[in-house]
Structure 1
Amino acid sequence: MDTSPSERRTEVNTSTLGIIGTGMVGAGVARRAVDAGLDVVLSNSRGPETLAGLVAELGPRARAATPAEAARAADLVLASLPLAAHERLPRSELAGKTVIDPMNYAPKPGWRIPELDSDELTSSELVQRHVAGARVVKALHNIGPRQLLDLCRPAGAPDRSALPLSGDDPAANEEVTDLLDVLGFDAVDLGTLAESWRSEPNTPLYAFPYVGQPPSGLTVPELVAWVQGAPGVPVPAALVKDLAAAAVRGPAGFQM
């Protein structure tokens, strides 16, 4: 189910985005959402009072809350926790909501998920299993906050970038497509959550198309820092489709 940029509308059927988790991804999406005219309800595991600085920076469209309150406040919720903390998501408050999942699997010594290592599940299927009453859509996981701000463009702009999404519920996919449109991006629907691996780490569609070729000889920490700070490179919808089609499923999670 591909999305035609020329047919996208520039409205979203909610004026409020709930955000659970305010690390780089959550804060970056919040900034872009506020700039695009949406209200945001921010939350983290440490309490609303710890978000006073970010709320002040974002202005009157932002307020802080608990994760449960952020889930109740919006029909569309960004769950930007580390994947290792996904079981902290408030299941009852997210029931009936569309949950955007930007989480990626990053196994480390002492913490691995056998179902992901064996490719029995994708990470988003794992999240969907936890929040069974919600409608999970994988999105906003393969682009960094700097590039999210650099690459947003009005609908129809010749250098507008596209982002992939995957989900099992067509109506939820459409909601997230509309949100991406408001944030300044076209969307390419890659199919169900079972196909979301096509845009996860270690695939051609993850991160690097939006920043270009990194310098050679970087250590892993240097590479991560370079990607986080690199200016955005436009990625059209046709290229997103081609890169997704070229993906070959290998070991799950970051493999550096």
Structure 2
Amino acid sequence: MFVGWDWASASHDVTVIDTANYYPGMLSEPIEAVDSGQVESVYTAELLGRPVVKAWNAALAETQRTKGVPAGTPGRLAIPVAGDSEEARKVAMSLVDDTGFDPYDTGTLADSWRQQPNSPVYCTELTLDELPAALAAADRVKDAAIRDSLPERFAALPANPTVDDVVEMNRAAHR
């Protein structure tokens, strides 16, 4: 994790943006603190000893690559942003906007679990108007069960799933 970066020498003014997601047993080694209930990005901030902002983790890479549009474009997708430092959140929100997405301030890192796999906002391509209700519908227990069912849900997709197939799979998990 974080190979090749000397965190001890990095300035405390550096804004660290956590774009990762925890998939225990699938893509990640188990992390006992997170498995015991600590929010993943809070764990990351403690591990690094730096303020962390959570952003871009709730959008597919292909969505990020192809669906960014200028501010003010109707239907522009939103990206949730969480962090304990207001200044760091502002930096991340500006960068999200620069990449073609509407930033949405979801508050502190303690609340960033609402944008983790497979919450109602996770890889569901929502607009700024849709995002608040999806964040409010998040349920830590249910969302973790949905996350853990990902291998079975992916196996039910077509052989070469499109971004739209994956987005629909994630939306359907919350209907």
TM-score range, shorter chain: 0.7 to 0.9
Taking structure 2 as the reference length, the TM-score comes to 0.76
Counterpart of 1:103 (choices 5, 10, 20) is 20
Residue number in structure 2 paired with 1:182: 98
Q: Residues 93 and 241 from structure 1, CA distance in 2 versus in 1: closer, same or farther, beyond 3 angstroms?
A: farther
CA distance in 2, matches of 1:253, 1:243: 15
CA distance in 1, matches of 2:145, 2:17: 20
Conserved 8 A contact 1:95-1:131: no
Q: Helix, strand or coil: the match of 2:107?
A: coil
**What does 1:129-140 correspond to in 2, within 5 Å?**
129-132=46-49, 134-140=50-56
Q: Residues 89 and 108 from structure 1, CA distance in 2 versus in 1: closer, same or farther, beyond 3 angstroms?
A: farther
Q: CA deviation at 1:242?
A: 1.0
CA distance in 2, matches of 1:240, 1:89: 34
What percent of counterpart residues are identical?
Answer: 32
- Alignment gaps of 5+ in structure 2: 150-175
Q: Residues 177 and 98 from structure 1, CA distance in 2 versus in 1: closer, same or farther, beyond 3 angstroms?
A: same
Q: CA deviation at 1:93?
A: 3.6
CA distance in 2, matches of 1:144, 1:176: 18
CA distance in 1, matches of 2:108, 2:67: 26
Residue number in structure 2 paired with 1:248: 139
CA distance in 2, matches of 1:158, 1:169: 30
Q: How far does the alpha carbon of each residue in 1:123-158 deviate from its partner, in whole angstroms, 9 at most, with x for none? A: 1111100221x3210001111121112211111111
Q: CA deviation at 1:238?
A: 1.6
Residue number in structure 2 paired with 1:202: 118
Q: Does 1:157 align with 2:83?
A: no
Q: CA deviation at 1:88?
A: 6.1
**What does 1:1-256 correspond to in 2, within 5 Å?**
85-86=1-2, 89-96=5-12, 97-108=14-25, 111-119=29-37, 121-132=38-49, 134-207=50-123, 209-210=124-125, 235-250=126-141, 251=144, 254-256=147-149
Conserved 8 A contact 1:125-1:193: yes
Q: How far does the alpha carbon of each residue in 1:76-113 deviate from its partner, in whole angstroms, 9 at most, with x for none? A: xxxxxxxxx14764212433200110111111189311
Taking structure 1 as the reference length, the TM-score comes to 0.53
